[in-house]
């Protein structure tokens, strides 16, 4: 390679840059891209040593020869090179977040999440599809209701966001069986996620269904579907049977008409499926540098320092893709709760770690999770509880957070900065950066450079990324005006503890705007009307500096925080220094050609830049709502909680805004000067105009919204839900548990060989009841049982109507000796051992076929004559509730009869308050049901939750059913969850609601649960009316 380096240097000196780039085009065909990057770095070093620093000069440099584009051979609509994807010949930085629609089972609210993501500058959403809910039994595919893929795609098109579909069949996601349908864990003998023939036959109909629902929504046909992921986090990539499985999946997609790129998410740096059998089009990996322990949320891990080197060594000709990067953390049973997880991965984490990914030249990334949602019903695997809030940027109740503000600041920069899409990694503080000098050993810098525009992006952080100390430094960098040491007029660049900054040089904005350098961050850059607009931000307690050519006739700010200067050394550009001071928006320069703004980060995040549909000759059909591909027209709107969309009237005089409001706020709009009127959610707003496109007014929140209240839950009705322990209970219609073989990994441990695993009899989720019969001789004194239910499960055991005890475990099973109470055995008659076995979900990864049931059973004298089993009515083949689906119910008596459903008649039940617990202070299971009315004001989006008592000290478990949906599992002596958000669509916000609590008292002791409705917030706005998705009770056979 050295000969190429010397030749590049010689040609550049003698013949100029154009000849040099011709040579590089030839070199590209001969060298791997990783070596070419090394060549460029080395060439830069040679030139720096032989010439003045001005070798980097010129924002109008000759455009570098692009590396050859690649495609999968099925379409050229989506291509890629080593930098980014290309879509319809435009570069595309994929800035995405993870959202699982099955964790928000109200399709009308998917648009809410999509619009919030787009409002934060995201252009992609990554979506797991859970096979288990779509393919509940062999031969059944259900894409109706909240399982719909078409509803996902249609909402994505409206919002203007691309979809990266991740349908598995294995997804992980802290879901039961990692997404694989439960019936497969029992019915398939072969090894899943290999080329085993029975596994192949099991999953292929599901994939065919995914293809049929998706094929006409690909970006090649004007749809939002940009890519499809193959499987997920497969730890067996070198295994030939796994490679063949990947190849079979890929062939099925291609034969079915899927032409967009196929991708893969590696669980860490394993180099799987990059080459060879089963290799994908675009490889990526996931990373969770903070781990999943939220108990010490201010304890940080160090950033990973070899991301760039790993990419260059493994797949340098592809964009650097991270399909999952940490956006929060799951929290286990007994954990500290999701507020701690939000703190662990808070805005400071995002600032340092996300920009560190930029420093590695990552150009495709998705944050897991951006919205976590709710693991309702039987969705979760045993390691997590109902809430899947994840400490995400959008919380479980759909509220926006400070984390949302930070990803929004980053997202708006990416959206505003086409020069950032094509950058070469030049070097860092550890390996050296040609032409760049860092003055300050406590700081660390990585430098990227756009080879076409000579724009430099210097990503700075503390050398110890965990440090909480405040430091400062200066940076000597090449610019189009020669070498400059930044800052030039203030003392230094400040970095607080756990802060990162992007120092930019030779950055273009709008049509004519040019920023020589900035130590402040870019929030927005673009054109609004005829003006080039630049919005910078930085902490109010730090100094900031930037230099640019101020054009047009205008006015400078008179703020004492701002100092202006000029210098011959930078061709009379204006240097602007911002000194520490109060927060708020500063209009640095306001002219007929430019508008330059500055604020601290919080104020910046209060602004929105909605894409305004304005079709041009370059608009891509079907993508009219998408930024870059459909429109480049926008405005800036400051003040509201959220701006969902904006439209301009045909005469461009009226701007119609739609969004959300939770308090009264000042409104500022920066629009084309033709705009004279503004409306908010259809109502005109009185505005004052400065004549150049800046309009100000106020948005008022109605008093009835501020004062919205919810009723107290009262009038509870109660009924016992464990008749199975009563004398004479008839279980003749239960399933006889008489199998002697199983595909479950754990074979029976002891007994008479009968298999007592629920899924082998169609009962794979939630609560399962077992009844073991034996003829009493009087010599029986105990039963030995080994019960599997998943980590933190519980199981209660009775003999006849006498309670023996309850076992719980942090492991997935318990072996226990259950001694019979005196006189419990009825001599000469049939006796019954009744076992309530809780299923906390199936495991993921290696233990994909876990035991759930009774792995061992033995009386101390005699044998069982029969075992009967009952789970949810109909099992997975004939369950009656097709809307809520296969994972919503369990096998408790009340569930089987639909007591939890709205419309079930409880008028003859006993009046008993929930706080009184079960009668007689005894162990058992009871149903408590009541109804309540809600009447929120029109055009509102309420965030409502059900709150149990705050302490986790009582020995009970509870299921929360809201209008028939199991939206909570409470473990009152473990926690941490006591609060359960329920969205509109599950909750009727303007009508009658039914809430049912299944109370399982674990011991013969009193329990006193309480439950209240609470309002977290009420927003004026939302996505419109949300229909109720809660079918009423019907008689069940």
- Residue 273, pLDDT > 60, answer yes
- Three-state secondary structure call for residue 845: helix
CA distance 952 to 859: 35
Active-site annotation holder among 108, 174, 243, 324: 324
Find how far residue 693's CA is from the centre of its chain.
Answer: 37
Active-site annotation holder among 108, 213, 233, 895: 233
Phi-psi group of 914: left, alpha or beta (phi > 0 → left; psi -120 to 50 → alpha; rest → beta): alpha
Name the burial class of residue 714, with classes exposed (0-12), middle (13-18) and buried (19+) by CB atoms within 10 angstroms of its CB: exposed
R_g of the chain computed on alpha carbons:
31
CA distance 890 to 763: 8
Phi-psi group of 115: left, alpha or beta (phi > 0 → left; psi -120 to 50 → alpha; rest → beta): alpha
- What integer is the mean pLDDT of 237-255? 97
Q: For residue 706, what pLDDT is reported?
A: 85
- What integer is the mean pLDDT of 803-825? 97
- What integer is the mean pLDDT of 172-195? 97
- Express each pLDDT in 983-1032 by its tens digit: 999 999 999 999 999 999 999 999 999 999 999 999 999 999 999 999 99
What's the longest Cα–Cα distance across the chain?
A: 109
CA distance 191 to 114: 37
Q: Beginning with the edge strand found earlier in the chain, give each strand of the sheet holding 756-757 in spatial order.
A: 756-757, 853-859, 782-788, 813-819
- Dump the DSSP string for 865-914: SEEEEE-STTTTTS-S-TTT-TTS--SSHHHHTTTTSTT---TTSEE--G
Give the chain's mean pLDDT.
Answer: 93
Residue where the block lists tokens 């020869």? 65
Q: Is the previous residue joined to 169 through a cis bond, with omega within 30 degrees of 0?
A: yes
Residue 41 and residue 436 in contact, taking contact as beta carbons nearer than 8 Å: no
In this structure, how many other beta carbons lie within 10 angstroms of the beta carbon of residue 213? 21
Residue 46 and residue 34 in contact, taking contact as beta carbons nearer than 8 Å: no
- Express each pLDDT in 736-781 by its tens digit: 999 999 999 999 999 999 999 999 999 999 999 999 999 999 999 9
Closest CA to 767 of 820, 722, 718, 819: 722
User: 705 phi and psi, to 5 degrees?
Assistant: -75, -45
Q: Beginning with the edge strand found earlier in the chain, give each strand of the sheet holding 694-699 in spatial order.
A: 607-608, 636-638, 665-670, 694-699, 687-689
Confidence at 63, pLDDT banded by 50, 70, 90: low
DSSP H/E element including 948: strand 940-948
CA distance 73 to 85: 15
Look up 324 and say whether it is catalytic: yes
- Express each pLDDT in 85-125 by its tens digit: 999 999 999 999 999 999 999 999 999 999 999 999 999 99
- Residue 20, pLDDT > 50, answer no
Q: For residue 23, what pLDDT is reported?
A: 39
Look up 233 and say whether it is catalytic: yes
In this structure, how many other beta carbons lie within 10 angstroms of the beta carbon of residue 161? 25
* Measured torsion, CA atoms of residues 26, 31, 34, 40, in degrees rounded to the nearest 10: -40
Q: For residue 43, what pLDDT is reported?
A: 39
Closest CA to 893 of 916, 870, 910, 867: 870
Q: For residue 19, what pLDDT is reported?
A: 39
The percentage of the chain sitting over the pLDDT mark of 70, rounded to a whole number, equals 94
Closest CA to 459 of 477, 480, 444: 444
- What integer is the mean pLDDT of 156-169? 98
- Three-state secondary structure call for residue 312: helix
Confidence at 48, pLDDT banded by 50, 70, 90: very low
Non-local CB neighbours of 516 within 8 Å, separated by 6+ positions: 479, 480, 481, 505, 506, 546, 547, 548, 570, 573
Q: Structure tokens of 494?
A: 């400040």
CA distance 136 to 759: 12
DSSP H/E element including 969: strand 965-971
User: 941 phi and psi, to 5 degrees?
Assistant: -125, 95
Confidence at 64, pLDDT banded by 50, 70, 90: low
- What integer is the mean pLDDT of 233-245? 95
- Residue 55, pLDDT > 50, answer no
CA distance 417 to 124: 17
- What integer is the mean pLDDT of 217-236? 97
DSSP assigned state of 432? B
866 pairs with which residues across the strands?
773
Q: For residue 12, what pLDDT is reported?
A: 38
Phi-psi group of 130: left, alpha or beta (phi > 0 → left; psi -120 to 50 → alpha; rest → beta): beta
- Express each pLDDT in 537-568 by its tens digit: 999 999 999 999 999 999 999 999 999 998 76
- What integer is the mean pLDDT of 467-479? 98
Name the burial class of residue 143, with classes exposed (0-12), middle (13-18) and buried (19+) by CB atoms within 10 angstroms of its CB: middle
CA distance 352 to 293: 19
Non-local CB neighbours of 353 within 8 Å, separated by 6+ positions: 289, 290, 303, 325, 326
- Three-state secondary structure call for residue 409: helix
Alpha helix segments (H runs only) across 513-665: 601-605
- Three-state secondary structure call for residue 833: strand
DSSP assigned state of 34? H
Find how far residue 101's CA is from the centre of its chain.
Answer: 10
DSSP assigned state of 973? T
CA distance 99 to 328: 13
Residue 780 and residue 820 in contact, taking contact as beta carbons nearer than 8 Å: yes
- Residue 434, pLDDT > 50, answer yes
The percentage of the chain sitting over the pLDDT mark of 90, rounded to a whole number, equals 92
Confidence at 191, pLDDT banded by 50, 70, 90: very high
């Amino acid at each position: 390679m050295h000969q190429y380096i010397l030749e590049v240097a010689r040609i550049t000196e003698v013949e100029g840059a154009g000849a040099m780039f011709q040579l590089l085009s030839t070199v590209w065909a001969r060298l791997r891209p990783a070596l070419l990057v090394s060549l460029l770095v080395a060439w830069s070093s040679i030139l720096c040593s032989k010439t003045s620093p001005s070798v980097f000069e010129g924002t109008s440099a000759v455009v570098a020869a692009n590396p050859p584009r690649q495609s999968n051979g099925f379409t050229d609509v989506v291509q890629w090179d080593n930098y980014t994807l290309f879509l319809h010949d435009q570069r595309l930085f994929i800035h995405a977040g993870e959202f699982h629609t099955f964790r928000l089972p109200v399709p009308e609210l998917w648009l809410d999440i999509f619009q919030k993501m787009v409002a934060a500058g995201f252009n992609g959403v990554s979506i797991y599809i859970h096979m288990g809910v779509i393919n509940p039994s062999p031969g059944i595919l259900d894409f109706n209701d909240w399982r719909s893929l078409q509803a996902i795609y249609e909402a994505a098109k409206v919002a203007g966001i691309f979809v990266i579909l991740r349908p598995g069949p294995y997804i992980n996601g802290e879901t039961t069986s990692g997404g694989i349908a439960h019936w497969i864990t029992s019915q398939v003998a072969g090894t899943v996620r290999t080329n085993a023939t029975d596994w192949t036959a099991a999953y292929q109909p599901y994939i065919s269904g995914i293809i049929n629902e998706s094929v006409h929504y690909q970006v090649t046909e004007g749809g939002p579907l940009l890519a499809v992921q193959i499987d997920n986090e497969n730890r067996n990539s070198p295994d030939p049977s796994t490679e063949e499985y990947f190849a079979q999946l890929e062939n099925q997609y291609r034969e079915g008409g899927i032409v967009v790129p196929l991708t893969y998410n590696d669980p860490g740096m394993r180099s799987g499926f990059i080459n060879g059998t089963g290799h994908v089009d675009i490889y990526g990996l996931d990373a969770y540098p903070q781990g999943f322990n939220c108990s010490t949320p201010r304890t940080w891990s160090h950033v990973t320092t070899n991301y760039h080197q790993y990419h260059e060594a493994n797949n340098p000709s592809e964009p650097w893709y991270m399909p999952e990067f940490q956006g929060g953390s799951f929290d286990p049973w007994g954990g500290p709760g999701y507020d701690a997880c939000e703190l662990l991965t808070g805005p400071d984490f995002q600032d340092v770690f996300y920009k560190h990914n930029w420093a590695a030249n990552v150009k495709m990334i998705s944050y897991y999770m951006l919205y976590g949602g709710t693991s309702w019903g039987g969705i979760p695997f045993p390691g997590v509880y109902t809430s899947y809030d994840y400490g995400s940027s959008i919380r479980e109740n759909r509220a926006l957070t400070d984390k949302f503000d930070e990803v929004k600041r980053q997202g708006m920069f990416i959206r505003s900065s086409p020069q950032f899409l094509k950058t070469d990694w030049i070097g860092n503080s550890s390996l050296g950066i040609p032409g760049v000098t860092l003055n300050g050993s406590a700081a660390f810098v990585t430098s990227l450079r756009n080879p076409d525009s000579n724009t430099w992006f210097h990503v700075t952080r503390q050398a110890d990324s965990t440090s909480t100390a405040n430091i400062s430094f200066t940076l000597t960098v090449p610019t189009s005006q020669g070498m400059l040491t930044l800052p030039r007029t203030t003392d230094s660049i400040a970095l607080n503890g756990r802060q990162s900054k992007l120092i930019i040089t030779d950055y273009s904005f709008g049509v004519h705007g040019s920023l020589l350098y900035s130590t402040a961050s870019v929030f927005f850059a673009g054109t609004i009307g005829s003006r080039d607009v630049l919005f910078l931000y930085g902490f109010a307690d730090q100094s900031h500096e930037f230099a640019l050519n101020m054009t047009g006739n205008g006015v400078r700010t008179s703020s004492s925080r701002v100092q202006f200067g000029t210098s011959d050394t930078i061709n009379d550009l204006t240097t602007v220094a911002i000194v520490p001071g109060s927060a708020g928006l500063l209009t640095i320069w306001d002219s007929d050609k430019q508008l330059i703004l500055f604020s601290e980060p919080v104020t910046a995040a209060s602004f929105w830049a909605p894409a305004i549909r304005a079709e041009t000759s370059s608009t891509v059909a079907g993508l009219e709502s998408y930024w870059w591909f459909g429109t480049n027209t926008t405005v800036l709107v400051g003040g509201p909680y959220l701006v969902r969309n904006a439209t301009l009237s045909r005469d461009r005089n009226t701007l119609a805004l739609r969004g959300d409001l939770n308090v009264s706020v000042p409104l500022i709009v920066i629009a084309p000067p033709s705009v004279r009127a503004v409306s908010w959610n259809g109502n005109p707003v009185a505005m004052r105009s400065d004549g150049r496109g800046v309009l100000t007014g106020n948005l008022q929140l109605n008093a009835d919204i501020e004062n919205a209240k919810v009723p107290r839950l009262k009038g509870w009705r109660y009924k016992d839900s464990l008749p199975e322990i009563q004398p004479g209970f008839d279980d003749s219609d239960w399933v006889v548990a008489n199998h002697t073989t199983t595909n479950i990994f754990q074979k029976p441990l002891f007994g008479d060989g009968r298999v007592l695993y629920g899924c082998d009899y169609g009962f794979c989720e939630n609560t399962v009841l077992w009844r073991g019969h034996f003829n009493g001789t009087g010599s029986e004194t105990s039963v030995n049982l080994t019960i599997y239910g998943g980590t933190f499960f519980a199981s209660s055991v009775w003999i006849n109507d006498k309670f023996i005890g309850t076992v719980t475990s942090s492991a997935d099973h318990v072996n226990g000796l259950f001694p019979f109470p005196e006189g419990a055995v009825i001599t000469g008659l049939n006796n019954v051992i009744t076992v309530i076995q809780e299923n906390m979900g199936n495991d993921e990864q290696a233990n994909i076929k876990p035991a759930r049931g009774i792995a061992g059973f033995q009386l101390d004298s005699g044998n069982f004559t029969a075992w009967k089993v009952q789970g949810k009515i109909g099992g997975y083949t004939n369950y009656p509730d097709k809307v809520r689906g296969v994972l919503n119910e369990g096998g408790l008596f009340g569930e089987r009869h639909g007591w939890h459903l709205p419309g079930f008649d409880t008028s003859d039940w006993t009046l008993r308050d929930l706080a009184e617990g079960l009668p007689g202070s005894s162990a058992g299971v009871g149903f408590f049901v009541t109804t309540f009315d809600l009447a929120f004001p029109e055009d509102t989006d309420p965030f409502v939750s059900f709150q149990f008592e705050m302490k986790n000290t009582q020995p009970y478990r509870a299921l929360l059913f809201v209008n028939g949906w199991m939206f909570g599992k409470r473990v009152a002596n473990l926690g941490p969850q006591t609060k359960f958000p329920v969205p509109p669509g599950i909750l009727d916000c303007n009508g009658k609601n039914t809430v049912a609590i299944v109370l399982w008292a674990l011991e013969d002791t009193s329990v006193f649960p309480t439950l209240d409705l609470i309002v977290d917030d009420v927003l004026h706005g939302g996505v419109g009316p949300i229909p109720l998705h809660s079918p009423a009770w019907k008689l069940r056979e």
